Structure 1
Amino acid sequence: MNEQAEIPDQERWVAWQPAELAQRLRDVARPWCIVGGWALDLWHGAETRDHGDLEFTILREDLGAFRRALGDLEFYTVHDGVLERLAVDREPAAEIFQIWGFDRAAGRWRVDMMIEPGTDDGWVYKRATEIRRPRSEMVMRTAGGIPYLNPSAVLLFKAKYQRPKDEADFAAALPKLAAPERTWLRDCLELLHPGHGWTKAL
């Protein structure tokens, strides 16, 4: 059987909850944080909508530590819509920034692990690396200690697509977004997406 035939159905997602991921990563002393829609809901303190997956980011040099911590999963690189099995003894190619984790025993995808270009102390926006901020400003924590990306940065990622869920996430976040974060997001949108519909609202 060839490797491509063994790749699981991309729709077979039953993602872990953030708390379960945090528990599994409790002994990993390297930077990581929840991103995407779940990051916004951790900030809100409640689950505002269903989430099809669970996204979190790591630094490329730390991939081995996270693969070991999640050793019961099989990992698949994702690039241009193509999934490929990432063998245990192989590092992903430099152009790979997304890796899915598959729970073979349950037959379900569990996590979407994103590789970010930052450092231990600095956060870098991967789509425009000139946008940088101290990691201490960009990674927040729940009362239970789960790290998640600053909502202004989550919305910056979502601004590119403006899917219905992204519009809903923006509308829910806007009233709670602190003034400095509104200004930062507006400045980023003006730089990267001139004329974006969210700019006026900010």
Structure 2
Amino acid sequence: MPEHPPLGRWAPLTPSAVAAELAGWAGPWWIAGGYALELALGRSWRPHDDVDVLVLRPQAGELHDALPGWQLWAADPPGSLRPWPAGEALPAHVHDIWCRRPSSPAWELQFMVDDVSGPLWTSRRDARVRAPVASIGRRTGDGLPYLRPEIQLFYKAKQPRPKDETDAAVVLPELDPAARAWLDDALALTLPDHAWRRAPG
């Protein structure tokens, strides 16, 4: 098995560089993670160690063609990586794909894989949390797709790290009432005692 960089070694692409790499791919994708929150608010407040992109499982296999020459690794829980060859269906329990070019000594891009049920996106954290695929993202003025901030905060809520708490402190007060209601409903269903439900906004 080929070796890969240490899990913590990153040289992440910028969101605009991600868009350039995926420019020829027709599959839906959205910038996720902390970058998605910054794109939603139009400003930055902290550095980023990596870059996350959300894709949907039915199109995940197309990433091999979308990123020719890249190495794609499946993150097999609970924390091991293995090469993911073209033509192999991504196992249902795998929700992360780590990517790098052979010339890079570090990871450059991480895809998070969510499922769909007909026209509905379903959260990899809890399939009861769902929404129309067409509604889960927004676009910047120059067309860069990103995950809606309330959905990204839902993902950060399960085991929040210090950077997640920072993000929530910045973003929660900026959410509109509909977004706050969506997040509250999702947390009520999955983490009913979560502190972010009580955060002022």
Q: Normalized against structure 1, the TM-score is what?
A: 0.91
| Residue equivalent to 1:36 | 33
**Cα separation, 2, equivalents of 1:179 and 1:149:** 17
Q: Are the equivalent residues in 1 in contact too, given 2:137–2:148 (CA < 8 A)?
A: yes
Q: Are the equivalent residues in 1 in contact too, given 2:60–2:90 (CA < 8 A)?
A: no
| Residue equivalent to 2:198 | 200
Q: Are the equivalent residues in 2 in contact too, given 1:7–1:85 (CA < 8 A)?
A: no
**Cα separation, 1, equivalents of 2:191 and 2:14:** 32
Aligned-residue identity in percent: 34
Check 1:59–1:164 CA distance in 2 against 1; reply closer, same or farther (3 A cut): same
1:147-171 Cα distance to aligned partner (Å, 9 max, x none): 1111000000111012111110001
Normalized per residue, the structure richer in helix is 1
What SS does structure 2 have at the residue aligned with 1:37?
helix
**Cα separation, 2, equivalents of 1:128 and 1:122:** 13
What SS does structure 1 have at the residue aligned with 2:62?
helix
Check 1:150–1:120 CA distance in 2 against 1; reply closer, same or farther (3 A cut): farther
1:27-82 Cα distance to aligned partner (Å, 9 max, x none): 21121111111110111212321111111121222123222121121011112110
Alignment of 1:2-151 (within 5 A): 3=1, 6-79=3-76, 80-118=78-116, 121-151=119-149
User: How large is the RMSD of aligned CA atoms in angstroms?
Assistant: 1.6
- Size of the aligned set, in residue pairs, is 199
Q: Are the equivalent residues in 2 in contact too, given 1:75–1:102 (CA < 8 A)?
A: yes
Kindly state the Cα deviation for residue 87 of structure 1 after the two structures are TM-superposed.
Answer: 2.4
Match for 1:182: what amino acid? R
Unaligned runs of 5+ in 1: none
**Cα separation, 1, equivalents of 2:178 and 2:50:** 30
**Cα separation, 1, equivalents of 2:59 and 2:39:** 24
1:106-156 Cα distance to aligned partner (Å, 9 max, x none): 212111111110268432222111221122321100111111111000000
| Stretch deviating more after TM superposition (188-197 or 116-125) | 116-125
Kindly state the Cα deviation for residue 89 of structure 1 after the two structures are TM-superposed.
Answer: 4.1
